[in-house]
Amino acid sequence: MVVISEQNLKNQRTLLEKQAATRSTLFFDVFMKSLIPVYENKELPDFVYIPKDYPDLLRGDFAPKHIIDLRPHKDKLYYRDTFPVWRNPSNREFSLHGYGLVDNDKTKPSMTELFDTSPHKFLGGATGHGKSVSLNSIIMAGAMVHPPWKAQFFLNDPKILEFKPFVLAPELMPHINTVAATSDPQFTISMLEYLIDVMNTRNKIFVKADVKSIDSFNIKKHRLPDGTEYTLSMPMLILVLDECRAMYLNAARKKAYIDNLIAKFVALARNSGGRAILTSQEPVDEMSASIMKNINIRAALGCQPDVSTKTIGNSAASRNQGQKGKLVINTNPGAGNVKDNLYTVSPFIPDFPVDDSKQIAEIFADLHDLADKINFRRLEPLSFFDEEEPLTKDEFLAMVNANASLSRFFLGEPAFIYKSEFKLYSTPMVIHSEFDTNEAMNFLGISTLANMRFNMIAMMLANLTKVKNAKVLLRTPLKAITDKVSALGYPVTAAVETTDITEQLFLDMTAIYWRYTAVVADDRVFAGKVPEDSALHNTALAEIAPPNDLMKNRVKHILDILSEARAKMLLKLPDLSESTLPMYIDCIKVVCRQYFALGAESRKVEASDFAPVFFCYFDFDKIKGVEIKTQSALLDQLFDIIKIGPIYNIYTYIVSNILPNAAASLNPAFANLLFYAVPETNLSPFRIRDEYPETVGQMMWVYVNKKLPARFCFKLKFPDLVGVYSGEDGEN
């Protein structure tokens, strides 16, 4: 509980008194006095029918997902027992009551609306004149009169501070769908892409429902099995882009892409329920003219005459310079006529309670409680990204412990909204990647910072604790790393400390080959292939003494496979002969032990039967040989481990400082890359410089999935598992 001192309250009251001349309207004066007559006679429906998810609607399934019975609650849906909440029945108009009082007359609330023919608005004005306050008033007023099943908010906040209270309050307002508290354009881009996808999907649903718009969809009647008629409630999508100029500046080389996305949104919005509210100190030069032509509702706070003219078509807003909250609204800015202006005073919501006024967090709580009373369920999980808040070890491990598996690794918190084609799923906390275990679960992590490289290993090991029967084999040239890994408490089956990995790579490669041989031998046996008997076959059978006919056939096929040129090269075996047969028999016994370990003495073995094994090569650049071009055979062997291993549940995770030039040939074997503090000049071998983010925050690493068709670089907030922020780190 926050305790506010009497002196603090006194200071706030003094501030409000100073503002009285320019801002005489508190938020609740507008609602409690001027808007009650507008809504007091509006009736709530008896039932609200929430539509199913979009895939179901696309299949033509228009049965309700959830039914809200409002009948027992109609006398309770009042704010502070006075204001009748959620009474606006519109399917297409979003009310802008938050503009305040017309001519500061408490009997004349603003009735401006975003509707089909004017679905978007722009709010301009010089710094310090109240854009943020006016925007908060518009959002809160909209949440008061529109129920959460009729309006969902998507808020973008490049200044980071303005919209964080909407998600950091103890109770969430039920209308909030997404909040991006970040100056990074990646989340904004993903939010716009998501909304465009939703609107395109809605248009396909409208075709399926034989309607043309969200309005006609929401009034179309359906029948329950008992004959009851009902209509579905598909919500409007209210996009709020605050500080557009900052958004464009932060976007750098993606300015044109963001502009194209906004243009698509405003074009698609009319029929599909999208409504946009954009703010900036003045119209943004980078914003294309086609966008501004689609924004007919313009409002300006105090500003310079030229800015006023660019915003509302005339210079009237310049007379309000130095006066907080005084707005000039024009719905025909192209004409430039002063007679089209509407003059209002935007209401003010204090940051904490003053006299009879509530702080904004208490309003959230009250609306949240009202939603709880009627059993309203959030339409979608909240998506929230705050670039200033670290992802803690406890938060990360809680998600890993609940959800990690062989095909699901948690990599950090997403700086973007989930896109299904990316195979990436957003939650309020973390992101995980759904891998195709036959080709993609190999990782290459690169960082110039030693502590971050260790953090990458810790992230992988934390995930592997949840993989059943997994073996983790650590290879490192540094004994100190083995000790640090042990101190983390994550399971490592075996650790090899070596500065020369040549022999170890041979052993790792043979682990794959034993599995390969067992699977290929069974493919041949169960396909009915019978090897020709030979003296060498018979000698091997006599030595090994297999227990049944299946194992006898296996022994013969294994011997044939081992004698093939590829096997001899990989296993360093001499040509098969009577004198070299004992070496082959030893290898056959190793393969046969795989069958017994799997309990497959009488059934076919598949590649998926084997327990997962993870080879973790730490500080790969310090291992002797990998930086020498003449060691191409060594790197070819490692390439085979990386590329072939996943077929047999053997995966490779390499963490390195800058990858040596000679080892760049390994790059094609990796589908998944992690980067932190990597100079741009060292990105060339990976061929991702065009997609690599221009800026990466201190808490972010870059995840690259090369299997994706486009835009495959993603910024994720990394989990701090080893004290990256608290420990000293250097280039190493």
What DSSP string describes 380-438?
Answer: S--EEEETTS-B-HHHHHHHHHHH-BTTEEEEEEESS--BGGGTEEE-SS-EEEE--TT
Q: Which residue has the tokens 């929230």?
A: 384
- Which CATH number do you get for residue 108? 3.40.50.300
pLDDT of 430: 42
pLDDT tens per residue across span 579-631: 999 999 999 999 999 999 999 988 999 998 999 999 888 887 777 666 555 45
**245 DSSP assignment:** H
The pLDDT of residue 438 is 42
Q: Are 559 and 540 in contact (CB under 8 A)?
A: yes
Q: Judge if 512 and 495 occupy the same domain.
A: no
Residue 355 pLDDT level (bands cut at 50, 70, 90): low
Q: How far is CA 442 from the centre of its chain?
A: 21
Write out the E strands in 338-394: 341-345, 383-386
How many of the other CB atoms lie within 10 Å of CB of 235? 22
Q: Report how far residue 715's alpha carbon sits from residue 187's, in angstroms, rounded to the nearest whole number.
A: 9
d(CA 241, CA 655): 39
Query: Where does the pLDDT of residue 432 fall: very low under 50, low under 70, confident under 90, or very high at 90 and above?
Result: very low
Distance of CA 295 to the CA centre of its chain: 29
179 or 357, which is more confident: 179
Q: Tokens 């579905």 appear where?
A: 232
**What are the tens digits of pLDDT across the range 516-561?**
999 999 999 999 998 888 999 999 999 999 999 999 999 999 999 9
* One domain for residues 474 and 600: no
**Averaged confidence pLDDT in the chain:** 83
DSSP state of 576: P
Above 70 in pLDDT, residue 461?
A: yes
Q: State the amino acid at position 29 in one-letter form.
A: D
Which amino acid appears at position 88 of this protein? N
Q: What share of the chain is helix, strand, coil (3-state, %, to 5)?
A: 40, 20, 40
The answer to whether residue 725 sits within a structural domain is no
Q: By three-state DSSP, how is residue 279 classified?
A: strand
Question: pLDDT by residue (tens digit) across 435-448?
Answer: 444 445 788 899 99
Give the CA radius of gyration of the chain.
Answer: 32
User: Strand 471-476 vs strand 613-618: parallel, antiparallel, or unpaired?
Assistant: parallel
Whether 296 maps to a domain, the answer reads yes
> What was the pLDDT predicted at 9?
47
In this prediction, residue 416 has a pLDDT band, given cuts at 50, 70 and 90, of confident
Residues 253 and 201 in one domain: yes
What is residue 352's predicted lDDT score, i.e. its pLDDT? 52
Asked if 567 and 474 sit in the same domain, the reply is no
Are 674 and 687 members of one domain?
Answer: yes
Q: Is the domain of 485 the same as that of 579?
A: no
- From 385, 419, 435, the end of a domain falls on 385
Helices (H), 630-673: 632-644
Residue 732: name the closest of 626, 625, 621 by CA.
621
Per-residue pLDDT at 223 exceeds 90 = yes
How far is Cα 495 from Cα 472, in angstroms, rounded to an integer? 8
Pick the residue with more confidence: 3 or 664?
Answer: 664
Residue 353: is its pLDDT beyond 60? no
Is residue 57 scored above 90 in pLDDT?
A: yes
Pairwise pLDDT comparison (207 vs 462), residue with the higher score: 207
Task: Kindly state whether residues 25 and 128 are assigned to the same domain.
Answer: yes
CA–CA separation, 98 vs 139, rounded Å?
Answer: 7
* Whether residue 174 sits in one domain with residue 150: yes
- More confidently predicted of 558 and 632: 558
* pLDDT value, residue 411: 85
At position 330, the amino acid (one-letter code) is N
Name the residue with higher pLDDT: 147 or 416.
147
Instruction: Indicate the burial class of 631 (C-beta count within 10 angstroms; 0-12, 13-18, 19 or more).
Output: middle
- Is 638 part of a structural domain of the chain? no
d(CA 278, CA 423): 31
Q: Is 465 in contact with 400 (CB distance < 8 Å)? A: yes
Q: What is the pLDDT of residue 211?
A: 96
Whole-number pLDDT of residue 68:
96
Residue 314 has pLDDT above 80, yes or no: yes
For 300-310, the pLDDT digits (tens) are 999 999 999 99
Residue 256 — very low, low, confident or very high, per pLDDT cuts 50/70/90? Answer: confident
> Is 433 inside a domain boundary?
yes
Q: Can you give the residue range of the structural domain that contains 471? A: 391-499+613-621+655-717
> Mutual orientation of helices 185-209 and 244-251 as an angle, nearest 10°?
110
For residue range 117-131, what is the model confidence (pLDDT) as tens digits?
788 999 998 888 888
pLDDT digits (tens, 9 = 90+) for 667-677: 778 878 899 98
Residue 648 lies in a domain: no
The verdict on 693 and 544 lying in the same domain is: no
How many domains, the chain? 3
Torsion of CA 76, 81, 84, 85, to 10 degrees: -70
> In this structure, which long-range contacts are made by residues 211-220, counting pairs with CB atoms below 8 Å and at least 24 apart in sequence?
212/271, 213/92, 213/116, 213/270, 213/271, 213/272, 214/91, 214/92, 214/271, 214/272, 214/273, 215/91, 215/92, 215/116, 218/91, 219/91
- For the chain, helix (H) and strand (E) counts, in that order, are 22, 29
Answer with the one of 367, 385, 403 that is the final residue of a domain.
Answer: 385
Mean pLDDT over 502-526 rounds to 88
Helix spans in 157-272 (H): 165-168, 185-209, 214-219, 244-251, 255-272
Beta-sheet pairing, 297-300 with 326-330: antiparallel
- At 19, is the pLDDT very low, low, confident or very high (cuts 50, 70, 90)? very low
Closest by CA position to 174, among listed 374, 409, 439, 474: 374
Minimum mean pLDDT range among 260-264, 311-315, 661-665? 661-665
Q: Residues for the chain: how many in total?
A: 732
Q: What is the pLDDT of residue 376?
A: 92
Q: 105-140 burial string, b = 16+ CB within 10 Å, else e? A: eeeebbebbbbeebbbbbbbbbeebbbbbbbbbbbb
Q: Which residue has the higher pLDDT, 685 or 57?
A: 57
Q: Do the domain assignments include residue 645?
A: no
Cα torsion 633, 634, 639, 642: sign: positive
In a domain, 14, yes or no: yes
Q: Which of 254, 227, 283, 210 is nearest to 57 (CA)?
A: 210
Find out whether 115 and 238 touch, Cβ atoms under 8 Å: no
Percent of the chain residues topping a pLDDT of 70? 87
Same domain, 401 and 472: yes
514: pLDDT confidence band, cut at 50, 70 and 90? very high
Cβ pair 502, 522 in contact under 8 A: no
pLDDT at 634 over 80: no
Cα 82 from Cα 29, distance rounded (Å) = 12
Shortest CA distance to 563 belongs to which of 522, 517, 615, 494? 517
Last residue of a domain, one of 369, 385, 401: 385
Contact yes or no for 25/32 (Cβ under 8 A): no
284 and 135 assigned to the same domain = yes
Q: What 3 state SS string does 314-333 have?
A: CCHHHHHCCCCCEEEEECCC
Same domain, 473 and 566: no
**Domain assignment present for 641:** no
In whole angstroms, what is the distance from residue 8 CA to residue 142 CA?
Answer: 30
